[in-house]
Structure 1
Amino acid sequence: MSPKLSRILATLSGLLLVIFLMLVVSEKVPVFSDIYQRLELLVYDQRMRFHLPEKNEVQPSDGTRIVIIDIDEESLQHEGRWPWSRLKMVDLVEKLNAAGAAVIGFDILFGEAERNPAQVVLSQLDKKSKLHKEINLIQHNYDSDQMFANTLANSEAILGYLFHFQYPLTSGLLPEPLPLENTEDNLVSQLGMPSMTGYAAPIEVLTSNAKGGFFSLALDQDGVTRRAPMLARYNNQLYPSLSLEMLRQFLLLDAIELETSTIKGREHLEKIHLGANFSLPTDSSGQLLIPYRGPAETFPYIPAWKLLSGDFDKNLVEGALIIIGTSAPGLFDLRATPIDSVYPGVEVHANLLAAMLDKKFLKQPSWVTGADFVIALISGLVLAIALPWLTPLLQFVLSLSVAAIILAVTGWLWASKGLVLALAGPLLVVYLLITIFNFIWGFFYEFMTRNLLTDMFGQYVPPELVEEMSKHPGEFSFAGESRELSVLFSDIRGFTSLSERLTADELKLLLNRYFTPVTGVIFDHRGTIDKYIGDLVMAFWGAPVVDPDHALHSIQAALQMLKATEEISAVFASEGLPEIKVGIGINSGEMSVGDMGSKYRRAYTVLGDAVNLASRLESSTKYYGVSLIVGERTKELALEHFVWRELDLVRVKGKDQPVKIYQPLCSIEELTPELEEELKLLDQALAAFRSQDFTQAKNLFSQLHESHPETYQYSQYLERLEQFNQEPPATEWDGSWVRVDK
């Protein structure tokens, strides 16, 4: 698969994933949508903790204090087990009134009447007895419920009650519904908010002497309290929450006004107006996100037993909004919240009151759902389309940038505007899944490409080149192309006679022992094995990995191969095996390289005139009595690295133009003055020979032969000069020698 096709498939797959995720965000996929909602709730909790205000910002900024009277475990130990006597509650309210409390709210349900002790005695007496008549006349003096009711009637007190969301059970007397201003008669019935099925309210005598507000709290699907209903609908009447009713009494408001919007034929609640400049931004169900201001006991607590004993700071109570509740574990008013897993329910109402007094709310208007969807969609599309075409580093940078933008924008809206936008959709789901998908796609594509490259080229090139190719897999394939390369042929001299002296197994073992180190040398110098043909090995440089120094590396490999052959031959001789010698030919030039062959068998190989010349040069090593011959272009490309001996200007079979051939003798660093002088003399001799100054040429070649009789080239040219002495060349002769054999 080509890189372009892979990227196109990754883009299309990413877009399909975005569509699926949008269905998840839209709650169209049951299981996944539920997981997404859980993720969103977890992210919401983390954001809530991150945005908690400073300690000095807990109480309302207008100077109003919110104080909690706590019926805690210590109070139960001092005052006795719950429920307490109504007379004790009378004492508690009177002490708060005496200290100047502004409004008192009870996060407690007084759903059962307290038995009158006088009535208990009367039930034990004869109704005709004098004592019965006397106690009957004064029994009202011992009616603690009535005494509590009288105290409530003389106080700014709000009694709590609860609504049932599912059970059609009723008990006690429900307070009067919330008075509404400028509201149509049928508006409440048209509101798109759930109707309560039942209630549990205080007993009639208490409800008749105090205002009421429900303390029911909404639980999300994970059982955590993140929002609270401000209004509840029952029998097409609206009832206020405890915190809302406390605020209404504190602000001395007779009625409130609702702001609604019509969506799909239903009236959806938008805001609750408390006066001209004060409104609560609820959702369509009348719920308000709870803007928690800290962990448990962020607000001041006064243990109930201390209040009853008079051991409390009256300045703390004066003018304050008082909420009476319980944090004792046995009284079951502990909640799981985003801040703590165990959080007093009474303090939830304190947080709501503080937010309303400060007018600092967390809002999720009706349009937020659409905004969340658009943000998630845009984020997903940007990543799905862009990521497949980027490098892993740029993928990481883009993903990180998208995440940073989303976090920055949503964080700023939360902190400055109180606007809560979703994060799980655009960030945790779209961002992470699309990014992870592309990383995984890229990983598997690279993994498969590496395996493919290994399968394709592992038999031809060294492992380090395969590793290098895997870093840019799109640049390599078996497709044919024309490129300047260097090709090498190496053949064992006298292989035919060698094979006649050995058995088939011995010959196979000998060749394996020879080819293994020779192949290692080629691999060490970045060469590609083309093929083995009997005793011949063919290799080339510059493909599949581009190598600007292909000529240099091919010659270095050839010289090392000659050295390795000497070492192997010495080992063979010590074992009684025949010694081996090789001839190597190298040529550089334009050649075709790629996967060639038939549908039955194919090979990654090179073709062209430059390849054929390399083969001719290898066979010419026997004629010139040397082990290594390179072509003119190879010498040009590696000129500065070696000391060169020009062997001939020759016309090989199949070539019209003469070519110069060379023998690389050693590296430049290894050049000695004697060798330098010899090569200068050789250049003079060759120049005289090709200019047909045969007398001068004979003198020079004779000097060279006398000084270096081991060099076959000098005696070879002396033989040519003898031949030309008998049969002079034509006048237009270009100085080349014609080779009629391979």
Structure 2
Amino acid sequence: MYATQYWPRWLIAGVLLLPMLLHATGLVPLGFIERLDHFIYDVRLRATMPRTLDERIVIVDIDEKSLADVGRWPWGRQHMAQLTRELFERQRVQLVGFDIVFAEPDHSSGLAQLEQLARGELKDVPAFQARLEQLRAPLDHDARFAQALRGRPVVLGYYFTSDRGGGTSGVLPAPVMDRAALAGRPVRFTRWDGYGANLPVLAEAAPHAGFFNSIQDPDGLVRSVPLVAEFDGKHYESIALAMFRSLHGWPPVQPGFPAERWLPRSYQGLDSIQLRTGGPSSMAIPVDARVGALVPYRGPGGPQGGSFRYVAASDVLQGRLPPAELSGKIVLVGTTAPGMFDLRSTPVGQVYPGVEAHANLLSGLLDGRLPVQPDYALGYEVLMLLLVGIGLALLLPQLGAVAAALAATVALLTILAVDTWLYVAAGLVMPSASLLLLAIALFAAHVGYGYFVEERAQRALTRLYGHYVPAELVAEMARQPVQGNGMDAENKPLTVLFCDIRNFSQLSGSLQPQQVRELLNLCFLRMTQVIRDHRGTLDKYIGDALMAFWGAPLDEPRHAELAVQAAQAMTRAVAPLNAELQARGLPEIAVGIGLNTGMMWVGDMGSDLRRSYTVMGDAVTLASRVEALARSYGVDVLAADGTRDAANHLPWQEVDRVQIKGKGRPVTLYTPLHASPDSDKALASELMAWHMALKAYRMQDWDQADVQLLNLQRLNPEKRLYSLFAYRVAHLRKHPPPAGWDGAFEAR
């Protein structure tokens, strides 16, 4: 009787549990669960950061002030030699690490040209040859820098790469781990096939070096750094690990395998890396499946972040610091200057100095507090999913609504408590998103099954059109009846709009729940009214975004034009909306809108449990992708070429041609203009210059593109689109596109 009564609920629980188990085992990874795990980790990280100054580590910053004082980068190596001597001789620091690679010879002194003359037209001039010999030492800046490094506790930096076809330059340091020590286990080291390392003269003077690569997660954030990585079958250490070993007398690095009493011999991962400090003792540094560790960020980052002291490199060079002010300090030399491209996006800051990420990792190593997601996290997640899934599946059907809600709440709090305890007490980062989602889904399924199935005989199912579409269109449909019930699915050309509140997570972070609701309600009220005024159908609200479409349920030949006009009206509505928000003490907002026109399925869709009148298809997906791209181009409204073609009588500006994943052909993007170039001469001139810039860009005529883009930035300095293309041109000069490139940008 028990099984007969509850088997439908158990079946639903099994259906909910199965995808979670497939995700946990890696057979069917679910991106939204991974993103939620990252979100949970980021929130916990920010909540537990110490936000205190680590006085042991100092960052010597090649900042914009230093570049203004000394000159643009790269500096002559005589400056680096002077910086090194100043740090060791006058400041008496303990250790220096360079988050910089010195891969190219320094020819700034002109020595190479003098030597060329000595071998050529002046080879028979004894006075010149004698004078050159006198000048050789002071003019050989690389040798001067090498001399300053020699015999001092210095760790140089270098990088690995996999994007240059296995290209290499410079000299790598000696590997830190013997491959035989792995006992044949195929450990999943992060692997690269190329590198950029330091000049031989520098590598010989300072033989210890570490790579400064980090690992970027799919959302673009840097959360972890490999401690040991593999190149050409050999294993090398990161700059933070190299500096840590330097402080402990360079203990050997050995793999640390988990105790076989807990895991079988067939287990292939590393539990830690071991630093043999002499005798039977060793230091164990826990590592994840990629032999890396999560960066234990101390604070928000940067010179004002309060985690580490920043000293301008020019202040050190020019002797502005009192003698021995940095005595005994560990120094990392790096940069925060935007033009030197060492800024990263991290969970604690969107613009975070890369050098400070290594400082945080070194600080964590010194404190013995490196958070890590161990390789056995997979087994933990599977076991916990089975416990939560089976436990709630057996318990919830026997409880009433209130008791079931209490049981689900206890399960959620227990999961969070265990997860937090493992993080705080043991530094273990275990996946918990799938557990939380499963508990919520099981409770929702329990309540939904009881409401929609067991009590369906006591409820009447509404069949009014107003259940599916806006009331104002229902009234019009009543006056102009359509064939059938009007809700049947059909494939027809429509225009769909996605509108998103930009930076909503950041905006809402400092608000109370009531304020968040007030802000969203007010925003959605204004935007929905605009959609209604332009005869659009509001499809749904999606978090802080909304979706609408034109051309159904009533046929509307001007659906593309009305959608574009609605999008422009929505952007105009932002200013008065912000004034009202400000008056209520709420933050101002900005919106991004994406449009696309094409064939879509539209109709009454869903299940017996829930239905809605909605649109779907590739054209809808493309509109969502277009909306996500709008911000990167600095435009409020961005449309695919389908919308532009359907409303080509409106004024438009071409924005870009992009190759979107899953699309066979590139998509051309446009933004609608509020004015017509036929009546606005300045706009017409700007558009002409822009078309010329685009043509030159796609023909790879970088010089012509630069000229036009420079003129455009002068004409309209606030327009981000022009600076974006200027940056692309500069990048493509250094990294030419492949043969056959058609000018399409690959959207990720």
Tell me which residue corresponds to 2:253: 256
Tell me which residue corresponds to 2:112: 119
Tell me which residue corresponds to 1:562: none
Which residue, out of 37, 41, 48, partners 1:40?
A: 37
Tell me which residue corresponds to 2:273: 272
Tell me which residue corresponds to 2:84: 93
The question of whether the paired residues in 1 share the 8 Å contact of 2:12 and 2:445 is answered with no
Q: Are the structure 2 counterparts of residues 129 and 253 from structure 1 closer, same or farther at C-alpha, using a change threshold of 3 Å?
A: same
Amino acid at match of 1:23: L
**In structure 2, how many angstroms separate the alpha carbons of the residues matched to 1:393 and 1:190?**
51
Q: Residue 419 of structure 1 aligns to a residue in which SS?
A: coil
Q: Deviations over 1:112-155 (max 9, x none)?
A: 01014233234355332345313432323310001001111132
The question of whether the paired residues in 2 share the 8 Å contact of 1:122 and 1:135 is answered with no
Tell me which residue corresponds to 2:166: 168
Q: Are the structure 2 counterparts of residues 3 and 449 from structure 1 closer, same or farther at C-alpha, using a change threshold of 3 Å?
A: farther
Q: Are the structure 2 counterparts of residues 389 and 280 from structure 1 closer, same or farther at C-alpha, using a change threshold of 3 Å?
A: same
**In structure 2, how many angstroms separate the alpha carbons of the residues matched to 1:400 and 1:277?**
44
**In structure 1, how many angstroms separate the alpha carbons of the residues matched to 2:323 and 2:415?**
48
Tell me which residue corresponds to 1:105: 97
**In structure 2, how many angstroms separate the alpha carbons of the residues matched to 1:384 and 1:342?**
45
1:343 aligns with 2:352: yes
Pairwise CA RMSD of aligned residues? 2.7
The question of whether the paired residues in 2 share the 8 Å contact of 1:172 and 1:201 is answered with yes
Moved more, 191-200 or 417-426: 191-200
Q: Residue 108 of structure 1 aligns to a residue in which SS?
A: coil
How far off its partner does 1:201 sit?
0.3
Moved more, 311-320 or 323-332: 311-320
**In structure 2, how many angstroms separate the alpha carbons of the residues matched to 1:186 and 1:25?**
27
Tell me which residue corresponds to 2:203: 207
**Identity of matched residues, %:** 32
Tell me which residue corresponds to 1:281: 286
How far off its partner does 1:409 sit?
1.5
Tell me which residue corresponds to 1:321: 330
The question of whether the paired residues in 2 share the 8 Å contact of 1:100 and 1:318 is answered with yes
1:240 aligns with 2:232: no
**In structure 2, how many angstroms separate the alpha carbons of the residues matched to 1:413 and 1:369?**
15
How far off its partner does 1:162 sit?
0.8
Q: Are the structure 2 counterparts of residues 113 and 295 from structure 1 closer, same or farther at C-alpha, using a change threshold of 3 Å?
A: same
Alignment of 1:375-414 (within 5 A): 375-414=384-423
- Normalised to the residue count of structure 1, the TM-score between the two structures is 0.56
Q: Are the structure 2 counterparts of residues 454 and 234 from structure 1 closer, same or farther at C-alpha, using a change threshold of 3 Å?
A: closer
Tell me which residue corresponds to 1:646: none
Q: Are the structure 2 counterparts of residues 201 and 391 from structure 1 closer, same or farther at C-alpha, using a change threshold of 3 Å?
A: same
Q: Deviations over 1:231-262 (max 9, x none)?
A: 12223322111011111111112423322358
**In structure 2, how many angstroms separate the alpha carbons of the residues matched to 1:453 and 1:351?**
59
**In structure 1, how many angstroms separate the alpha carbons of the residues matched to 2:147 and 2:251?**
22
Q: Are the structure 2 counterparts of residues 454 and 245 from structure 1 closer, same or farther at C-alpha, using a change threshold of 3 Å?
A: closer
Tell me which residue corresponds to 1:526: none
**In structure 1, how many angstroms separate the alpha carbons of the residues matched to 2:343 and 2:199?**
24
**In structure 1, how many angstroms separate the alpha carbons of the residues matched to 2:462 and 2:191?**
69
How far off its partner does 1:188 sit?
7.5
Q: Are the structure 2 counterparts of residues 448 and 324 from structure 1 closer, same or farther at C-alpha, using a change threshold of 3 Å?
A: same
Segments of 5+ residues of structure 1 without an aligned counterpart are 456-742
Which residue, out of 153, 156, 159, partners 1:159?
A: 156
Amino acid at match of 1:18: L
The question of whether the paired residues in 1 share the 8 Å contact of 2:182 and 2:255 is answered with no
The question of whether the paired residues in 2 share the 8 Å contact of 1:189 and 1:236 is answered with no
Q: Deviations over 1:504-560 (max 9, x none)?
A: xxxxxxxxxxxxxxxxxxxxxxxxxxxxxxxxxxxxxxxxxxxxxxxxxxxxxxxxx
How far off its partner does 1:100 sit?
1.2
Amino acid at match of 2:197: A
Amino acid at match of 2:25: S
Tell me which residue corresponds to 1:437: 445
**In structure 2, how many angstroms separate the alpha carbons of the residues matched to 1:36 and 1:145?**
51
The question of whether the paired residues in 2 share the 8 Å contact of 1:232 and 1:239 is answered with yes
Q: Are the structure 2 counterparts of residues 82 and 50 from structure 1 closer, same or farther at C-alpha, using a change threshold of 3 Å?
A: same
**In structure 2, how many angstroms separate the alpha carbons of the residues matched to 1:300 and 1:292?**
15
Q: Deviations over 1:341-380 (max 9, x none)?
A: 2111101111111111111121333322211221122112
1:308 aligns with 2:300: no
How far off its partner does 1:302 sit?
0.7
Q: Residue 195 of structure 1 aligns to a residue in which SS?
A: strand
Moved more, 17-26 or 66-75: 17-26
Which residue, out of 60, 66, 74, partners 2:65?
A: 74
Amino acid at match of 2:113: V
Q: Residue 296 of structure 2 aligns to a residue in which SS?
A: coil
Q: Residue 459 of structure 2 aligns to a residue in which SS?
A: helix
**In structure 2, how many angstroms separate the alpha carbons of the residues matched to 1:441 and 1:131?**
99
**In structure 1, how many angstroms separate the alpha carbons of the residues matched to 2:399 and 2:171?**
68
**In structure 2, how many angstroms separate the alpha carbons of the residues matched to 1:154 and 1:100?**
14
Q: Deviations over 1:29-66 (max 9, x none)?
A: 25xx22222221222111211221252xx52xxxx701
1:448 aligns with 2:452: no
The question of whether the paired residues in 1 share the 8 Å contact of 2:137 and 2:144 is answered with no
Which residue, out of 334, 356, 364, partners 2:373?
A: 364
How far off its partner does 1:78 sit?
1.6
How far off its partner does 1:158 sit?
0.8
**In structure 2, how many angstroms separate the alpha carbons of the residues matched to 1:385 and 1:147?**
75
1:334 aligns with 2:330: no
Amino acid at match of 1:24: H
How far off its partner does 1:265 sit?
5.0
Amino acid at match of 2:296: P
How far off its partner does 1:224 sit?
1.4
1:51 aligns with 2:44: no
Q: Are the structure 2 counterparts of residues 453 and 391 from structure 1 closer, same or farther at C-alpha, using a change threshold of 3 Å?
A: farther
**In structure 1, how many angstroms separate the alpha carbons of the residues matched to 2:333 and 2:143?**
20
Tell me which residue corresponds to 1:537: none
Q: Are the structure 2 counterparts of residues 22 and 190 from structure 1 closer, same or farther at C-alpha, using a change threshold of 3 Å?
A: closer
Amino acid at match of 1:292: Y
**In structure 2, how many angstroms separate the alpha carbons of the residues matched to 1:193 and 1:156?**
28
How far off its partner does 1:386 sit?
2.3
How far off its partner does 1:277 sit?
4.2
Q: Are the structure 2 counterparts of residues 453 and 39 from structure 1 closer, same or farther at C-alpha, using a change threshold of 3 Å?
A: closer
Q: Are the structure 2 counterparts of residues 197 and 123 from structure 1 closer, same or farther at C-alpha, using a change threshold of 3 Å?
A: same
- Normalised to the residue count of structure 2, the TM-score between the two structures is 0.56
Q: Residue 32 of structure 2 aligns to a residue in which SS?
A: helix
Tell me which residue corresponds to 1:664: none
Q: Are the structure 2 counterparts of residues 191 and 434 from structure 1 closer, same or farther at C-alpha, using a change threshold of 3 Å?
A: same
Q: Are the structure 2 counterparts of residues 264 and 279 from structure 1 closer, same or farther at C-alpha, using a change threshold of 3 Å?
A: closer
**In structure 1, how many angstroms separate the alpha carbons of the residues matched to 2:246 and 2:48?**
30
1:134 aligns with 2:130: yes
The question of whether the paired residues in 1 share the 8 Å contact of 2:189 and 2:228 is answered with no
Amino acid at match of 1:112: E
**In structure 1, how many angstroms separate the alpha carbons of the residues matched to 2:293 and 2:249?**
22
Amino acid at match of 1:110: F
Q: Are the structure 2 counterparts of residues 376 and 179 from structure 1 closer, same or farther at C-alpha, using a change threshold of 3 Å?
A: closer
Amino acid at match of 2:133: L
How many residues were matched structurally? 443
Amino acid at match of 1:294: G
**In structure 1, how many angstroms separate the alpha carbons of the residues matched to 2:382 and 2:368?**
28
How far off its partner does 1:229 sit?
0.8
Q: Are the structure 2 counterparts of residues 43 and 186 from structure 1 closer, same or farther at C-alpha, using a change threshold of 3 Å?
A: closer
